Amino acid sequence: MPVLADEDPKRHKLLYDLIVKTHHVKISVNGKELEEKEITVKNLIIRKQPFGSLCDVILDKDGKIIHQDIAKGYNVIADIGARTFNLYTLNKLRPIADKSTSTQHGMYSAYQTVNKWIESNLGSPIPDGKIKSYIDEGKIKGYSLAKITEFAYRQLANRIKGVIEKTFINNWAMVDRIIFTGGGATEKLLKPYLEEAFKDKKVEIIFLGRYNTVNGLRKYGMLEWRKTNKINKSDVVNQ
């Protein structure tokens, strides 16, 4: 769940009702043939979305902790999504509620900066679903979008820094590392601007990509499964 979403018990119930039951699905392992499967989900563990990225860093594929030093540290996970920015802080894997928050500083806020520039020069904006393709191309009707895109990304990086600065004012000595994660844009688009924005901070900076959150949540699932079934690594390999 997003950082502030699990405060609503209705969302917990909704997820439980959707997931904890028997599902009839069709699965393809080769991209062609579909095989019918019956999957029964008996239990649901709800965790905040950025937690998955931390799990991908500290756990191996079987759910065993391989980076004890990071797990025991004071970790700030900065999850930059399409529409929102989630800040999730853990000390020795224990969540710190007053150091966790959510804002509207997602990638689309940068895209909208570019779109407003387009509107001011061409008289109308681009539909939200199309703006990213023009940014990727780097131009529209002979106008280069390079400078305004660079400005928008740097502005977003600085706004994200502002949120983190406000959260940890006078507390930077506690922070061991910031883990930047999100839907792939963080690593591919914002990384140089975030590196520049945080170059004065004496903390470790880690950048993750598109699949780290889901990979980490799978690893966490393996960790919980191992604890429930009390098995060791060799048992997992032999399954």
CATH number of domain containing 219? 3.30.420.40
Examine the domain organization and report whether 225 and 164 are in the same domain.
yes
Give the number of domains in the chain.
2
Examine the domain organization and report whether 37 and 151 are in the same domain.
no
Residue 239 pLDDT class (50, 70, 90 cuts): very low
Examine the domain organization and report whether 154 and 80 are in the same domain.
yes
Examine the domain organization and report whether 216 and 112 are in the same domain.
yes
Examine the domain organization and report whether 117 and 31 are in the same domain.
no
Mean pLDDT rounded to a whole number for the chain? 91
Q: What percent of the chain has pLDDT over 70?
A: 93
pLDDT in tens, 145-157: 999 999 999 999 9
Residue 7 pLDDT class (50, 70, 90 cuts): low
Examine the domain organization and report whether 116 and 229 are in the same domain.
yes
How far separated are the first and last CA of the chain, in Å rounded? 30
Residue 53 has what pLDDT? Answer: 96
Q: For the chain, list the strands marked E by DSSP.
A: 22-27, 35-40, 74-80, 85-91, 94-95, 101-103, 139-140, 143-144, 177-182, 204-207
pLDDT in tens, 8-40: 788 888 989 999 999 999 998 888 889 999 999
Q: For 56-211, list the strands marked E by DSSP.
A: 74-80, 85-91, 94-95, 101-103, 139-140, 143-144, 177-182, 204-207
pLDDT in tens, 71-113: 999 999 999 999 999 999 999 999 999 999 999 999 999 999 9
- Residue 11 belongs to what domain range? 1-46
